Structure 1
Amino acid sequence: MTITQLYNQLADKDFQDYQTGDLFFPAYMYMYDASKEYEIENEILDIKNRLHRPNNYLDVMVIDIFEEFLNFLKETKFGKDNKYDFYLLHEKNKPDAVDKALKQDAYDVRFLTFLDQKIKSHLEQAKPYEVAYVFVKGFGTTFPYLRTSRFFNNFEQYIKGYKLIMFYPGKAKNYYSLFGLLKDENLYRAIKLINA
């Protein structure tokens, strides 16, 4: 599927209904060659703007998972500081402990709730537009702290009232392969829109 074909599918009124799709599970993956990262970034914004035209009454939310993880750490108190500043302070003298803590934070229910609340707030503010999609990008940047399959597995319960489209810089056969080089984790049941 080319990026043009992706736009055509997302523009299809039947596809926009979050209750349609295989297994009635509203999570999809668009896989692409990691060397096209910059091009895909621009295409994501272009698709968002084209779908948002007033006559479509359609709004698309774009989430950079890496940026949101940083925002979560900055908003989470840890002693006198927030977690972001605390980790920056200790990453050189205690790298293993910081690494372990970041991996735990990435799957903490508080981070998932933080994302869910951000999406719900956007849905509320977008009215009277219909929000059909939440685009999620930035998984290449969050590796190895946030792994695709595990994120989907943990966030599944929050996906309600929209379709989640994840942009993944890699391939998937029997397992996810980030950048086509790194073995990530076993496949999740999100519906693949392309096999890179």
Structure 2
Amino acid sequence: MQKLTLDERLNQIESKISEKSFRENKGLGNEVGYYVFDYDPRQEINVREYIKYLKDRINNGNKDFKIIEVDLFHLMIQILQEEDYLDAFFDLEKENGFFDMADSLVETLGLDETDEQNLIISHILQNDLTDSVLFLTGVGKCHPIIASHNILNNLHQVLDTVPVVMFYPGEYSGQDLKLFGTMDSHNYYRAFRLV
């Protein structure tokens, strides 16, 4: 069987998420659907442009649902600005290096927590997610601070009302996430491949 091109896969997203059964999670038991759309990281700009186009088309069209996009990197920066921590983390990186700063940032954002202490998750949940599909983007931009499997696992524990699609610049085998196609996360995650 011939492998689909990125454009062919992107062009299948709208029909897939427009299906009422997709948004109502028919056939998936009582759990909300969590999906991964993996792609070659060299195609990042094409994927971003397509998401922008699709959001505009769905959100300004006659659809009975909307797309909520959360760029994890932009959300991380927004939270740091709101808490007035951004400059402090720049200074910490200059003084102690990236990895020390990253460890402190994980702790400050509560990224290992599953409750409201996880500032990324709590900000995502502040969106009005009624009749929507949640797109998570910016995965590559926030690596290694925000681990995608961590966000999916923690979000899965508190959000079961709308489908979630993570756009992943790497490979997803159906069990393992491999960021940028080379960095094996060694973390099992159970999600469906979107296309």
Question: Which TM-score band (shorter chain)?
Answer: 0.7 to 0.9
Contact 1:69 1:106 in 2 (8 A): no
Alpha-carbon offset, residue 55 of structure 1: 2.2
**Counterparts of 1:155 and 1:15, CA distance in 2:** 18
**1:81-96 maps to which residues of 2 (within 5 A)?**
82-95=84-97, 96=99
The aligned residue for residue 97 of structure 1 is 100
Alpha-carbon offset, residue 103 of structure 1: 2.6
**Counterparts of 1:156 and 1:32, CA distance in 2:** 22
**Counterparts of 2:164 and 2:27, CA distance in 1:** 12
Check 1:176–1:110 CA distance in 2 against 1; reply closer, same or farther (3 A cut): closer
Q: Superposition RMSD on alpha carbons, in Å? A: 2.0
Give 2:88's aligned amino acid: F
Give 2:13's aligned amino acid: L
Percent of matched pairs sharing the same residue: 23
Give 1:192's aligned amino acid: R
The aligned residue for residue 12 of structure 2 is 5
The aligned residue for residue 125 of structure 2 is 116
Instruction: State which of 57, 64, 80 in structure 1 corresponds to 2:71.
Output: 64
Instruction: State which of 22, 42, 45 in structure 1 corresponds to 2:28.
Output: 22
The aligned residue for residue 165 of structure 1 is 165
Alpha-carbon offset, residue 141 of structure 1: 0.7
Contact 2:32 2:162 in 1 (8 A): no
Alpha-carbon offset, residue 101 of structure 1: 0.6
Alpha-carbon offset, residue 21 of structure 1: 4.9
Q: Secondary structure at the match of 2:62?
A: helix
Check 1:73–1:139 CA distance in 2 against 1; reply closer, same or farther (3 A cut): same
Q: What do the CA deviations read for 1:88-119 (whole angstroms, capped 9, x no partner)?
A: 122111224312112322605241212212x2
Give 1:146's aligned amino acid: I
Alpha-carbon offset, residue 134 of structure 1: 1.0
**Counterparts of 2:36 and 2:27, CA distance in 1:** 13
- Structure 1 position 52 matched with structure 2 position 52: no
Structure 1 runs of 4+ aligned residues shifted over 4 Å read none
Alpha-carbon offset, residue 20 of structure 1: 2.8
Structure 1 spans left out of the alignment, 5+ residues: 77-81, 124-129
Check 1:151–1:16 CA distance in 2 against 1; reply closer, same or farther (3 A cut): same
Alpha-carbon offset, residue 61 of structure 1: 0.8
Contact 2:36 2:172 in 1 (8 A): no
Aligned pair count reads 179
**What is the TM-score when the length of structure 2 is the normalising length?**
0.82
The aligned residue for residue 154 of structure 2 is 154
Alpha-carbon offset, residue 139 of structure 1: 0.5
